Structure 1
Amino acid sequence: MDLPPVGLGTMGIDDPETVSLALELGYRHLDTARIYDNEAVVGEGLARSAVDRDEVTLATKLWVDDLAREDVAPAARRSAARLDVEEIDLLYVHRPYEPYDPVETIGALADLHEEGLIDAVGVSNFEPAELDAAIETLADRGLTLAAHQTELHPLWYRPELLEHARKHGYTVVAYSPLAGGEAGSVDALVDIADRHGVSPATVSLAWVRSKEPTVAIPKASSEPHLRANLAATDLTLRPEEIDAIDSIERTVELYPE
């Protein structure tokens, strides 16, 4: 998918005005999930906004108790109803836990694509072998995987997932790209930030974006943070700065399996 470099992660956002403000400021990718319990909030924020619906990529996710083939379509329809939209742009499998089955679950998502309820299929928190199976099932239906959403930030980096995305031509959507607020405590990020006159969070986002084909979905609620995350697209790191961040000893996985 042609996703903007920075979108809005909405986990924990409970005010539609935050979503409307983000859209007013220029965000065009909204990411939510059934388990966040705020699909209605995101939908209301979108409805209140003056931004045309067609300009926004709206993504949500099926939780693990909705992954049996017979449960996928009803769950997706409930999400669409809460979001108050006729079509979901990008629907993810949130995690590949039982009763997830690549043929049954992904097959049901392909059915929804044919029906027109969803525009694209994504997966989240998958391993390479699980990605392969999803891609194969989609290919059997004449579809491609649109995106893989995974935790990615300077303290949690898995190059093999990026290589897999490059090989197969889908987008990596990085959640928690600011390392859960830890960016400001990492010396390498602080040093680079000082050099550029920006915040360590901006450096963290710039590093994530350098890992093509990757986009980021940081969560933000206040207008200053919403603006700052968008402005991070103005910073391009030098190769030696990317190398310095690559060499950080990584120890923080915020959302382990």
Structure 2
Amino acid sequence: MATSSTIVHNVYLPADAIPTAETRIKLADRILISPLVLGTWAWGDTRIWNWTPESDPKAKDAFDISISKGINTFDTAEGYGNGESERCIARYKENHPAATDIVIATKFFPTPFKLFYPSSLISALRESLARLKVECVDLYQIHGPIHLRSIEVIGDALAEAVKLGLTKTVGVSNYSTAEMIRMYDCLQKHGIQLASNQVEYSLIRRLPETSGHIAECHKRGVAVLGYCPLGMGGLTGKYSRANPPPGNRKCSRINMDELEPLLETMRSIATKRNVSVSSIALNYVICKGVIPLGGAKDGNQAEQNAECLGWRLTNEEITELENHPINRQPTFFESIWQHG
């Protein structure tokens, strides 16, 4: 909900704007999201993020602190923890005095065996709504371009979800520029604006920027949401040559010797600005016209992430960071899953 102090920008934060707790980005002319989104991939996930019953109150702290810092948007998916991430959000927002106005984005996992549309998508969306304990979600996204049916069939199903009042806006994830344009064109025929494309974007994966994908999205009024802006922990300053990340993370496949010069630069800027290393990574993404999805498993991580608000990297600082490019080759799975 916008107030008299809310500063609204369309699709992305312009180059002369400072991201603050009062800043909101308008998507598809319908929803207002914070310039930093809380990503909840880790909530309920036992395979990669080692979720346990003891993790639950810590994640609740991350939820509460994020709201207190002006972050109103939470990104989840039916596939996160087999739906547990969605259930976490439902639990955490119960009886929270400020949680009535939060924005919830979730995703449909379009496995190849799902062939019947719009029924497959609509039934999955209704199940997500039940887990989230809401009647309508703010943003419903296709999780990845792995569906066997055409983009137009999927787009028609998304349009049906909007017409049924089950979601306010619709988006995609991991789509290439060509795929994004096809989805945009399909939805336009229904009079619906494609709200967003969610892609991996960070200091260690700049492909959406260097390929021109971000510019093509913005040209059409499509916001770009950046997942893994912290490199799955690799850009938080927590890990080093002496303390490498655990094995199931993307950042664990990066040579820490190669990453160390970038981390040293990030630490230097963070020290000068009296902010966390994580906030340097997140502010960088914001400066590039992308809305970062910063993950947080506990209150401390949420606090560190929120330090990216209230200031903006200078052009000189951005150049310093970009002077340490990382050459990370995609895995076979990533080449199938990530087109954008």
Q: Distance in 1 between matches of 2:276 and 2:303?
A: 13
Q: Does 1:205 align with 2:282?
A: yes
Distance 1:56 1:197 in 2: 29
Corresponding letter in the other structure for 2:96: S
Aligned to 1:6: 36
Q: Deviations over 1:76-112 (max 9, x none)?
A: 1111111110001000000011224211111111011
Q: Deviations over 1:45-80 (max 9, x none)?
A: 122422242x21101000122574130111111111
1:64 equivalent in structure 2: 110
Query: Would the aligned equivalents of 1:62 and 1:93 in 2 still touch at CA under 8 Å?
Result: yes
In structure 2, what is the equivalent of residue 237 of structure 1? 313
Q: Deviation of residue 8 (structure 1)?
A: 0.8
Question: What SS class does the counterpart of residue 13 from structure 1 fall into?
Answer: coil
* 1:171 maps to 2:223: yes
Alpha-carbon distance between aligned partners in 2 of 1:229 and 1:83, rounded to the nearest angstrom: 24
Q: How far, CA to CA, are the matches of 2:116 and 2:67 in structure 1?
A: 34
Instruction: Confirm whether residue 17 of structure 1 aligns to residue 67 of structure 2.
Output: no
Does structure 2 conserve the Cα–Cα contact (< 8 Å) formed by 1:155 and 1:248? Answer: no
Contact map agreement 2:279 2:306 (CA 8 A) in 1: no
Larger relative contact order (CA 8 Å, sep ≥ 6): 2
Where do 1:146-161 residues align within 5 Å?
146-158=195-207, 159=209, 160-161=212-213
Pick from 159, 164, 167 the counterpart of residue 110 of structure 1.
159
5+ long unaligned stretches in structure 1 = none
Matches of 1:249 and 1:134 in 2, distance apart?
32
Secondary structure at the counterpart of residue 34 of structure 1: coil
More helix by share: 1
Is the radius of gyration larger for structure 1 or structure 2?
2
1:214-225 aligned within 5 A: 214-225=290-301
Aligned residue identity for 1:203: I
1:133 equivalent in structure 2: 182
Query: Is 1:30 the counterpart of 2:106 in the alignment?
Result: no
The aligned length equals 255
Change (3 A) 1:30 1:100: farther
**What is the CA deviation profile of residues 193-240 of structure 1, one whole-angstrom value per residue up to 9, with x for unaligned ones?**
23323232111111001011x211111122122122112112311111
Equivalent pair of 1:20/1:48 in contact (CA under 8 Å): no
Alpha-carbon contact 1:153-1:176 (below 8 Å) kept: yes
Give distance in 1, aligned partners of 2:304 and 2:115. Answer: 37
Give the equivalent residue in structure 2 for 1:144.
193
Cα separation, partners in 2 of 1:100 and 1:226, compared to 1, 3 Å: farther
State the TM-score, normalized to the length of structure 1: 0.92
The structure-2 alpha-carbon separation of the partners of 1:199 and 1:171, relative to structure 1 and needing over 3 Å to count, comes to same
C-alpha displacement at 1:20, in angstroms? 4.2
Q: Tell whether the 8 Å contact from 2:174 to 2:199 is kept in structure 1 after alignment.
A: yes
> What code does the residue aligned with 2:38 have?
L
Q: Which residue of 1 aligns with 2:20?
A: none
Which of 67, 73, 84 aligns to 2:122? It is: 73
Measured at CA, do residues 127 and 192 of structure 1 come closer, stay the same or move farther in structure 2, by a change above 3 Å?
A: same
Tell whether the 8 Å contact from 1:34 to 1:79 is kept in structure 2 after alignment: yes
How high is the TM-score relative to the length of structure 2? 0.70
CA distance in 2, matches of 1:68, 1:227: 43
CA shift for structure 1 position 25 = 4.3
List alignment gaps of at least 5 residues for structure 2: 1-26, 45-55, 238-259
Q: Give the aligned residue type for 2:234.
A: E
- The aligned amino acid for 1:205 is L
Task: Give the Cα separation in 2 of the matches to 1:24 and 1:190.
Answer: 26
**RMSD between aligned alpha carbons?**
2.0
Cα-to-partner distance string for 1:120-169 (whole Å, 9 max, x where unaligned): 00100111011011000011111111111111110101212211122111
